[in-house]
Amino acid sequence: MNIATGATRRTVDSEPARRPPLPGQVVLVLQGGGALGAYQTGVYRAMHEAGIEPDWVIGTSIGAINASLIAGNPPEERLARMEEFWERVTHGPLQRLFASMPMVGGTMANWLTFAGGITPFFQPNPAAFLSPHAPLDAEAAGYYSTVPLRPTLAALIDFDRANAGPVRLTVGAANVRTGEMRYFDSRDMPLDARHVMASGALPPAFPAIRIDGDLYWDGGILSNTPVEAVFDDNPRRDAVVFAVHLWNPGGEEPRTIWQVMNRHKDIQYSSRAVSHIRRQRQIHRLRHIIKELAHRLPPEDRARPEIRQMEAYGCLTRMHVVRLLAPSLRGEDHQKDIDFSTSGIRERSAAGYADTMRVLDAAPWESFIDPLEGFVLHEDGSSLGQT
């Protein structure tokens, strides 16, 4: 057991389990959420031990970092690289000392992160703190500098492999000038550390990253759950999509200011995941219905150009979406996304491992599905495509 996983391996990396048959390409979608991203390491570990390697990884913010660690390393090294990254960003000795204090220790450790940053990740930008109204260079306008992140990524990620290897990599970022979402995709262009850093450049904490003349911020400010990149892909393919959510869209009524701040973050960064899922289920069902209706036409009618054009809107691909939702830890608050404590990282990773193992054991994509359903949602090991 180690800090980044919090779970004992079922198999050793040199002898992975045989990959079970899955109906289509395997896509891993990783939401942004700072320290909450440790949950994703447990998700990947469970998949890896089950012999399931993704064909495509998509991420935003911390999810983009985890995604690039997967795509930018061979299968036998991916877990080690992910673990090394999370060990590098874990609280240092002084923060661990404060965290061990009862009652307010965790809060004080997080405040040290606010004040001093995390050495391999980000560091304070004194100019922004001391004179917030002073003009700064557009690529330095943030309370922190993410310059330390670049060598960290370079040490752990082989971008040549990420661009030419078997795993497709996509990271989402927000164009500062246009306010539009941009998905940088290794299928279409070579990616490097700038694209990953742009995906995690959350303002006002982190400065924008310039790519091809434009500035980009964290994609989470527009869409922190980048599943639409899968649903809108062309051409569409049958797939099992493991969508890993770090922020809970549902929750109790807040009764304190800190609870209000915590609930606000959950709602903001869950990115309307439920409404996205409902819309996609409707769209995919309509695509199947169009194809079914076209098949019922006489051959001479179906051959007409205008009918063929309408039929092109139909599609018989099926996407199984396995939704994994990171649980809340006892005592967590609105600072949970900067909780880089040893215990926090270990608990979240262990939760991701346990949740994913439970879903893999259930294999819900093997259950009966209505032939008209093109989008099937699986939560808690059950099929929800027909609700």
Q: What is the pLDDT of residues 248-282, one digit of tens each?
A: 888 889 999 988 999 998 888 887 666 777 787 88
Asked whether residue 104 carries a pLDDT value surpassing 70, the answer given is: no
Q: Which of 59-63, 214-218, 263-267 has the lowest mean pLDDT?
A: 263-267
Percent of the chain with pLDDT over 70: 88
Residue 19: the pLDDT is 54
| For residue 20, cis peptide bond before it (omega within 30 degrees of 0) | no
Asked whether residue 235 carries a pLDDT value surpassing 60, the answer given is: yes
**Could you give the CA distance from residue 139 to residue 294 in angstroms, rounded to a whole number?**
53
| For residue 54, cis peptide bond before it (omega within 30 degrees of 0) | no
Phi, psi (degrees; rounded to nearest 5) at 300: -70, -35
* Rg of the chain over all Cα atoms, to the nearest angstrom: 22
**DSSP alpha helices (H): ranges in 339-382?**
342-362
Q: Which of 36-45, 227-236, 251-260, 350-359 has the lowest mean pLDDT?
A: 227-236
Residue 105: the pLDDT is 58
Percent of the chain with pLDDT over 90: 55
**Could you give the CA distance from residue 206 to residue 193 in angstroms, rounded to a whole number?**
15
**Span 143-152, pLDDT tens digits:** 999 999 999 9
Residue 99: the pLDDT is 62
Residues 6+ apart with CB under 8 A from 146: 121, 122, 197, 200, 201, 206, 207
Residue 173: the pLDDT is 97
Residues 6+ apart with CB under 8 A from 89: 118, 120, 121, 340
**Average pLDDT of every residue of the chain:** 87
**Span 326-362, pLDDT tens digits:** 998 887 888 889 889 888 999 999 999 999 999 999 9
Question: pTM, whole model, 2 decimals?
Answer: 0.88
**Span 364-386, pLDDT tens digits:** 998 888 877 888 889 865 554 44
**Could you give the CA distance from residue 68 to residue 25 in angstroms, rounded to a whole number?**
18
Give the residue among 338, 358, 387, 343 at the shortest CA–CA distance from 115.
338
When pLDDT is cut at 50, 70 and 90, the band that residue 113 belongs to is confident
